[in-house]
Amino acid sequence: MSDQPPQPPQPPQPPRKPGLAIKVRDEVMGGVYANNMIVGHTREEFVMDFIYVFPQQGVVNARVITSPGHMKRIIRALTDNLRKYEAQHGEIKEAVEPKDGMVVN
């Protein structure tokens, strides 16, 4: 016999969902640099152009198109991660807007 008291029954655990396997294509793996972004939208979708601006020109390095509902989740995730980052590393100073008439939305 054991000297330990009997353990109360454990509540049933919900079944675990299998994890989603995500593959990052080789051409995406390295990422791209962007120091500017333009956002536009229609009723059905948001379009985010990530731009690398350098003297006298800029290049759209990536375009992400998403639904309004998913855009809300993206903003929530970015806000949460920004809050965690600043809690760990201190407040981030906002970058100044680019010059030369570049539109920033």
pLDDT given at position 100: 60
CB atoms inside a 10 Å sphere around CB 71: 16
Residue % of the chain over a pLDDT of 70? 77
Give the confidence band of 55 by pLDDT, cuts at 50, 70, 90: confident
Sort strands 36-41 and 46-54 into parallel, antiparallel or unpaired.
antiparallel
Residue 98 lies in a domain: no
Average pLDDT over residues 45-64: 95
- Tell me, what DSSP letter sits at residue 102? -
Residue 22 lies in a domain: no
Residue 18 lies in a domain: no
Residue 3 lies in a domain: no
pTM of the complete model: 0.69
Which residues span the domain enclosing 45?
33-89
How far is it between the farthest Cα atoms of the chain?
83
Residue 24 lies in a domain: no
Of 47, 14, 53, 10, which is closest to residue 34 (Cα–Cα)?
A: 53
Residue 69 lies in a domain: yes
Per the structure, how many domains does the chain have? 1
